[in-house]
Amino acid sequence: MSTKPKVLVAVQQMADREAPYLRPLEEAGLEVVRNRRGRPLTESELIDSLPGVFATLAWGEAYTARVFEHAKRLRVVARFGVGYDRIDISAATRHGVAIAMAFGANHESVADYTLALMLALAVDLVRHHEQVKRGEWITAFHPGFWGKTVGIVGLGRIGKAVVRRCRGFEMSVLAYDPEPDLAFARAHAVRVAPLETVLREADFVSLHLPLTPETAGFLNRERLSLMKPTAFLINTARGAVVDEDALYDALVKGRLAGAGLDAFAKEPPSGSPLLGLHQVVVGPHAGGSDEAAEVAMASRCVDSILAILRGEEPGPGLVLNPEVFAQHA
């Protein structure tokens, strides 16, 4: 039996594919163990997988207080992504586990996917595709995209990347953010405005908020009612920032033209009534998963794991709870 410290690669998409970015882990004397179940690990499966594990390359599995209580040798959870709503940060800190993030590695990918959802809705692409595949040849007018007004809710890395793309379509850009980057806004002709203004004026509202206790249900029934009936909602952030029942009601009653959703409160969203609506375009939370982002995120995770293995901090802003380093000094 191997006595090497282990790295659990929980990202099921990496189970069988060639992944040269993982080789530095083995070269450093770590044993790489992969999740071959074809799905995210359950809490019990994760606990059973953690004996002897120094670090995990984490995906959609939940890191609860119970997980950290059982993970005696775990020192790093390196998140393959930028969301951390499924990680109990307080529990991780109590148990001396650093939570390392892949910030800055996949925002361009998410922005590409966001624009793809916008364009699919704007040109009615899915309906046209289905009609032609059925043998129908019906040319109908669609809303269009060029020159429209887009509202960005959350002007962080991803929101800014979406802005740059929308400016290429000569769109008017509104943005709401609690702490907006005003220099960026000036440089890219973005009008920073109150949330209510953004919702009322935008033809496309694109959400780029992290999921926190404050943002859960952020786009509720009242706020959805502010949007124009001709407007589209895009969510490539987290499903729970939207009241999905209220969104469904708005769509079926014609108070909203459509939605592009790459995230749901429950994933996969089996049984969600939103899946039965023709004016909803959906994705499997794939916005940040293009090939370039895969390499960038995995490499950042590997670099963070190796830095902590050497007793070093990975870099400014990459660890959510840097106070754990003092515990192991």
Instruction: Return the active site residues.
Output: 238, 267, 285
- Pair of tokens at residue 260: 């592009």
Tokens 């080789």, residue? 23
Residue 153 contacts residue 198 (beta carbons within 8 Å):
yes
Separation CA 64–CA 90 (nearest Å): 10
Tell me, what amino acid is at 308? I
Please give the backbone phi and psi of residue 207, each rounded to the nearest 5 degrees, phi first: -95, 130
Q: What CA–CA distance (Å, rounded) separates 111 from 236?
A: 9
Nearest to 209 by CA among 245, 156, 166: 156
Task: Determine the Cα–Cα distance for residues 201 and 214; give it in Å rounded to an integer.
Answer: 24
DSSP state of 87: B
Structure letter (DSSP) for residue 259: E
Long-range pairs of 224-230 with CB within 8 A, sequence gap ≥ 24: 224/250, 224/255, 224/256, 225/250, 225/255, 226/196, 226/199, 226/200, 227/199, 227/200, 227/202, 227/255, 227/256, 228/200, 228/202, 228/203, 229/254, 229/255, 229/256, 229/257, 230/143, 230/203, 230/257
- Give alpha helix (H) positions in 134-275: 157-167, 182-187, 195-201, 221-224, 244-252
Looking up tokens 């709503």 gives 85
